[in-house]
Chains A and B, each alone.
Chain A
């Protein structure tokens, strides 16, 4: 039974997302649309399985939800902060700086989420990964103390991502 499910849905989470996206696209929640979305969600991962060789590793959905909430809140705060900096500070008083973040995460998915989070949150944009993927290059808009920014990102986001991806 379990292997039949695995065969039908090699990426169960992708199946769910495709079904939800299809239903949202139709703008109409009816049983027919949900079923058709599920059919698409099964056919598309099955048809493209050759390009998705790895099984996704397990992650904790509950912690993912709380992480997303924190990030959404930070995005709101970050927007107000950056808007304030743009409107009130002169270019000379800004101190842009590069920050290097040594990564403890190894999974590509987790590093991608961390880089995306950094770009969307207060005054930082992730720019590059080191050649072997051990550190992340981040640009900060106004940063008198790069070490404090590094510690905050490691403590606020990376620690939580480590708990999500086991």
Chain B
């Protein structure tokens, strides 16, 4: 009984932490002004926000029922896929904006996103 109560309180605290972090992620998306800076808020704050919500779900299921491991899988896939979606958004930014502050790579000719084969150059002109 005692443990059940403690577990439920821990789950409540994780829910609140998760909700706060998720909200900060949303605020960051709205507040920051440059597309690349906006990418920072959801990629980082989102992972801990959702992580805390999943932790709450896991604690709740362990305390009140048989317990569940599915949340571990969700967390693992989230950690693997979040950087990839961030990378795709960054690539779209590089494609659609000519960023004057973009540095040149020190050893190679250009960045791979901007490296268009000569045969395809006329496709991106229009």
* A positions within 8 Å CB-CB of B: 21, 23-25, 27, 75-76, 78-79, 82-83, 86-87, 91, 94, 96-98, 100, 102, 115-116, 118-120, 123, 125-135, 137, 139, 141
Contacts and interface: CB of A to CB of B under 8 A. Distances in A.
A76 B48 contact: yes
B115 to A, nearest CB: 4
Contacts of A87: 24, 27
Contact of B44 (A75, A96, A131, A137): A75
Interface in B69-113: 69-70, 72-73, 79-80, 82-84, 86-87, 90-91, 93-94, 99, 101-103, 105-113
4 nearest A-B residue pairs (beta carbon): A130-B105, A119-B83, A127-B90, A86-B28
Interface residues of B, number: 48
A100 B31 contact: no
B36 to A, nearest CB: 5
Contacts of A127: 36, 87, 90-91, 93-94
Contact of B21 (A83, A125, A137): A83
